[in-house]
Amino acid sequence: MLVMLSTQATLAQEVFEFSSGETVTRDELKYYLKERLVPEALESAVAKPDALKNAIVNLYVMKRASNIAEKEGLTSQAELEYRRGDGGRRLGLQVFVADRSDGVLSETDWAALADERYLAEQARLGERVEVSVDHILVKTDGRSFTELVNRVAEVQAGLAQGVSFQELVAQYSEDSSASRNAGKLGFSSRGRFDPAFEEVAFSMNEVGAVSEPVLSSFGVHFIKYNGRRTRPATPQASVQAGIIKQIRRERSEALRGEVLAGFRGEAWPYVDDLDEAALGAQILDELRTEFPSLDK
């Protein structure tokens, strides 16, 4: 049930009541928004669809989990009182999630999951071929087709006349990094470049050769091939701890969502029909007394 008091004078006492017995007050909602958003972002954040609904549901979930954690003795009343308010509820939420997740996490075969992840990431961690190339980029943005053709033709003419690739980079390349690296991209494996660029770069095999113009999503490229090498695989033992840490983080986040999904489901029907525009306008009006910049 959502209790809506009718007069402007009593709007500050507006209370959201849920079937579990939990309540979320308007003042708690306002505090929640103030704590998580800088004043400059309040107006745009509150205006987003479902923003206030989600904020209320988040407060409900924190209260529900924190109260269960307290009843089950997962955290002490003294510590919750010390943290107070929002801080205490977040502590209770963390303890509750940890309690419900620890059993699953403790039974997880992390080494087996790390083996699977290592095999799945062979493109990054396995043996791989890398090519070293330089390039000249002629951007298409802001140019007519004729202007683009003429610019590309100037680069081709310079190559035909024997002008060094580095001189042409300095004169024609519009890659933002060209001034720092003189067009040199160094050794790179597949997956770093635009697909059209990559297809040509990895098909070249004559050191010093320059490709025909290559059209990519960035513009027109001339690619100079410098060589290739094969990098050995990264030993699994050297990255095992990092892989397990990453998987644990992912599993913990997934379990957190699963543990709290039921609480979110309990709360949502009670806010589904909320008039967010009206409530948001009222909250912003109150916050303007604290944050005059909201009037600007």
Last residue of a domain, one of 231, 259, 275: 231
Given 178, 198, 231, the domain boundary residue is 231
Interatomic CA distance for residues 211 and 172, integer angstroms: 16
User: Which of 200, 231, 262 lies at the terminal end of a domain, its last residue?
Assistant: 231
- The CATH number of residue 216's host domain is 3.10.50.40
Same domain, 158 and 221: yes
Decide if 239 is inside a domain.
Answer: no
- Let me know whether 136 and 185 are in one domain: yes
Q: Is residue 96 part of a domain?
A: yes
Q: State whether 7 and 103 are in the same domain.
A: yes
DSSP state of 187: E
Angle at 92 (CA atoms; ends 91, 98), nearest 5 degrees: 90
The tens digit of pLDDT for each residue in 136-191 reads 999 999 899 999 999 999 999 999 999 999 999 999 999 999 989 999 999 998 88
34 and 61 in a single domain? The answer is yes
Q: Do 183 and 91 lie in a common domain? A: no
Residues 153 and 216 placed together within one structural domain of the fold: yes
Is 116 among the domain residues? no
Domain with 195 in it: 128-231
User: What single string gives the DSSP state of each residue in 172-185?
Assistant: H---TTHHHHTTEE
The verdict on 224 and 259 lying in the same domain is no
Q: How far is CA 206 from CA 20, 35, 162, 168, 209, in A?
A: 73, 60, 17, 20, 6
**Segment 37-96, tens digit of pLDDT:** 888 888 999 999 999 999 999 999 999 998 898 889 887 666 666 555 666 678 888 889
Residues whose CB is less than 8 angstroms from the CB of residue 177 and which lie 6 or more positions away in sequence, other chains included: none
Kindly state whether residue 121 falls inside one of the protein's structural domains: no
Residue 123 inside a domain? The answer is no
* DSSP category for residue 17: E
Q: Are residues 132 and 227 in the same domain?
A: yes
Residues 101 and 179 in one domain: no
User: Burial letters for 268-291: b for 16+ Cβ neighbours within 10 Å, e otherwise?
Assistant: eebbeebebeebbebbbeebeeee
Instruction: Establish if 236 belongs to a structural domain.
Output: no
Q: Are residues 220 and 146 in the same domain?
A: yes
Same domain for 24 and 48, yes or no, is yes
Please state the domain count of the chain.
2
168 vs 75: CA distance, rounded Å: 68
Decide if 83 is inside a domain.
yes
Residue 88's pLDDT is: 64
In a domain, 100, yes or no: yes
Give the pLDDT confidence score for residue 11 in this predicted structure: 40
User: 220-247 as b/e, with b when 16 or more CB fall inside 10 Å?
Assistant: bbbbbbbebeeeeebeeeebbeebbeeb
| pLDDT computed for residue 84 by the predictor | 58
Q: SS3 for 129? A: strand
224: pLDDT strictly greater than 50: yes
Residue 82's pLDDT is: 53
Q: Quote the crossing angle between the two packed helices 26-36 and 85-106, to the nearest 10°.
A: 70
Task: Let me know whether 259 and 225 are in one domain.
Answer: no
